[in-house]
Amino acid sequence: MELNTMIGFFAVVFGLYTLVARQIAPHQFAKLEPMKEKFGDKGGFVVHFLGYTLMPLIVGIVLLYQAFALETF
In a domain, 43, yes or no: yes
- Cα–Cα distances in Å, from 67 out to 32, 49, 70, 71? 32, 26, 8, 9
What pLDDT is stored for residue 71 in this prediction? 60
In a domain, 20, yes or no: yes
Tens digits of per-residue pLDDT, 10-64? Answer: 999 999 999 999 889 878 888 888 999 999 999 999 999 999 999 999 999 999 9
Assess whether pLDDT exceeds 70 at residue 70: no
In a domain, 63, yes or no: yes
In a domain, 73, yes or no: no
What pLDDT is stored for residue 54 in this prediction? 97
Q: Is the dihedral of CA 27, 31, 33, 39 positive or negative?
A: negative
In a domain, 59, yes or no: yes
Which residue type does 28 have?
Answer: Q
Q: How many domains does the chain have?
A: 1
Residues spanned by the domain of 50: 3-68
